[in-house]
Structure 1
Amino acid sequence: MLASEIIKRPIITEKSMLLVEEQNKYTFSVDKRANKVQIKKAVEELFNVKVVKVNVINTTPKKKRVGQHQGFKPELTKAIVTLAKDSKIEIFAA
């Protein structure tokens, strides 16, 4: 898999931005077939940074309903990537 196929998009929420400011951890939505080693290589290749640690979270699809209609929220895989102290990703800077 290519690095651009592994990393789908950054996840920008209040909680993820606090992780960026306080602990230098960045959150991405990733392909569910990718493992930690592939995610680490993809982030280092795309953003030219040094990755220290990768944590992966697999979310299950949750049942939702609106009136008569029911369905599921999508299944997601998130990766929380810890960078070295001198590394920084500029897309998260606002």
Structure 2
Amino acid sequence: GIPLGPVQIVILMLVSLFSAIGAPGVPGTGLVMLSLVLNVMGLPLEGISLVIGVDRLREMMSSVVNVMGDAVAAVFVAKKEGEINEKTYHKATWLDSDI
């Protein structure tokens, strides 16, 4: 029930963006960054208590997605740069080397 104007929404987006970029890849930092964003916006920190219950589960799932995305990006870049050994790649992924 807290109204936010257009300027506050832009500030919220920028603070969220910069805190996400500056956040280390350590489990549990999402709640710390959320408290930082809420504090900067002058919003009540009591809202964090609603998120604590499901944040650990969300964090586990997002870690899997992040690792998979990093792996796919690394293989894609290596393939485009010609740095990937096809025979070793297919052997490691259990595919036939004839493909």
TM-score range, shorter chain: 0.3 to 0.5
Q: Which has the higher contact order (CA 8 A, sep 6+)?
A: 1
**Scaled by the length of structure 2, what TM-score is found?**
0.31
State the TM-score, normalized to the length of structure 1: 0.32
Higher helix proportion:
2
Greater Rg over alpha carbons, structure? 2
